[in-house]
Amino acid sequence: MTQPKPEAAVLRRDQLVTYFEGAVRSDPSTHLVGTELERFGLARDEEAGAYMPIRYAPHIQGVLEALVRDYGWEPGPDRGTDGEVVELRRSGASITLEPGGQFELSGAPLANVHETCEEFSDHYEELDAVSRPLGLTWLAIGYHPFATREQINWMPKGRYQVMRNYLPTKGSMALDMMSRTCTVQANFDYSSEAQCGERLRRASALAPIVMAMFANSPLVEGQPSGRVSSRSWVWTDVDNDRCGIRPFFFERPFSFERYVDWVLDVPMFFFKRSGKYVAHHQPFRHFLEHGAECPDGTHATATYDDWLVHLSTVFPEVRLKPHLEFRSADAVGSRFVCALPALLKGLLYDDAAGDEAMAPLDALSFDERIALWHEAANEGMKSARVHELAKRVFKLSQQALENFNVLDSKGRRESRFLEALEPLVDEGISPGEDTLRTLGVEKLGTDAAARTAIAAAWRFAGVEP
């Protein structure tokens, strides 16, 4: 899941393709699993008597400083607009900040789901220990449950200022995506170009079903939105040049070159020179061929680092990097965090299980896939079709994990991480709907009491390793 830089100083198009070729892990026994989780932070405002969205200073700044001081994290190379620490790194993992202060752990690539869950358990304990003295709590939910756009505090990162100016010209909900959404993601390897294409196709086809199974964003500004995944709905109008499910993902044969050609034609957000982000919205192909003028009058030529940054600014539901990144699930609480990498491992690392899971979806037209996506985001497993597919997907993954027989120190298989999800899939109810049912409609709203109840209901608690 890592990739060295080429030696050539001048970027060439062929290097953009070999970047993916060099990420191939030909031995399937070496394929790893990585997990990423974003959460919203809340601070208790004693004057208002209510929870409010956190700020960089003193809230996030205090958390980052404590993690460095007490737990061996180190500041990363990225810095804020005035030199602020905005990234931490340790042992292949990183902590970064999303635009609205969403706090993200990008876990290290690990050998199995047992290890990735242990990593998240350790992270929770560290984050909880440093947050409590600061009066902070963290929510694992896909869409901010009560904050308006205006109440979100933006992080001091130059790249986010460029995106904040540009993306609203492309989609009406771009600022909501940046500031009011959170996700849990899972990353997987591939052993060849062909296998990468099959796993990309399979993950993209199953994305609506998996999204429904993990839907956890039923609230918008304190009230039920009428959708099981408000986060997924937001992504439908962010920037169609770079988001969504791409039609060519389902075409055979797949090639790294085809993916590169798509990314080359996506307009850029920026490039970085002398520590500053320079807004630049030409397609990367134009930048590669012609370069661009900098504010200081110098001419910028496309570099390998520019390409890596640009790769990270395309947002399909399944993204290709030196690994496949599944991006369609809402952020979920501790009971379900490890279920996403487990579920997808069974479907992606066992070809027989994955092919059988995808069989009912294989013949859909692209328009039918988009219709299924909207059906899943709105109705979730209340849709009889989505529910039947979810039950099928769940059982196939569960059996694949049993067959892998990867045991932890207590002799437990990775299928155990699906146990908390199983009764919800059987019933046809998402994690968010289940929490909303427990919370009760009478407690909803945006006043102090409602915010307290919501914070308790969606609080990110400990993960059992």
Q: pLDDT tens-digit profile of 102-155?
A: 999 999 999 999 999 999 999 999 999 999 999 999 999 999 999 999 999 999
H or E element in which residue 455 lies? helix 448-457
**Rounded CA separation 369/104 (Å):** 30
Q: Which long-range contacts (CB under 8 A, 24 or more apart) does 450-456 make?
A: 450/146, 450/222, 451/42, 451/50, 451/51, 451/146, 452/50, 452/51, 454/139, 454/145, 454/146, 454/219, 454/222, 455/42, 455/51, 455/137, 455/139
Residue 7's pLDDT is: 39
pTM of the predicted model as reported, rounded to 2 decimal places: 0.95
* Beta strand residue intervals within 72-228, DSSP E: 74-75, 87-90, 93-97, 103-106, 136-139, 183-188, 219-220, 223-224
Which residue has 């789901």 as its token pair? 113
**CB proximity list for 141: less than 8 A, separation 6 or greater:** 40, 182, 216, 217, 219, 330, 331, 432, 458
pLDDT tens column, 58-74: 999 999 999 999 999 99
- Do strands 219-220 and 223-224 pair parallel, antiparallel, or not at all (unpaired)? antiparallel
pLDDT, mean of residues 324-334: 97
Residue 354's pLDDT is: 97
pLDDT of 1 above 90 = no
pLDDT, mean of residues 239-265: 96
The answer to which of 48-52, 107-111, 383-387, 412-416 has the lowest mean pLDDT is 48-52
Residue 361's pLDDT is: 97
pLDDT of 211 above 50 = yes
Eight-class DSSP state of 303: -
pLDDT bucket at 277, cuts 50 / 70 / 90: very high
pLDDT, mean of residues 430-450: 89
Residue 169: Cβ-neighbour burial (10 angstroms; 0-12, 13-18, 19+): exposed
Residue 3's pLDDT is: 55
**Rounded CA separation 83/75 (Å):** 11
pLDDT of 452 above 50 = yes
Residue 11's pLDDT is: 84
pLDDT, mean of residues 448-464: 87
pLDDT, mean of residues 246-254: 95
pLDDT of 326 above 50 = yes
Buried residues in 355-394 as b, exposed as e (16+ CB within 10 A): ebbbeebeeeeeeebbebbebbbbbbbebeebbebbbebb
Residue 69's pLDDT is: 98
Q: Identify the structural domains of the chain with CATH numbers, from first to last.
A: 13-266+314-457 (3.30.590.20)
- As a whole number, the mean pLDDT across the chain is 95
pLDDT tens column, 287-303: 999 999 999 999 999 99
pLDDT tens column, 19-52: 999 999 999 999 999 999 999 999 988 877 889 9
Greater confidence (333 vs 14) lies with: 333
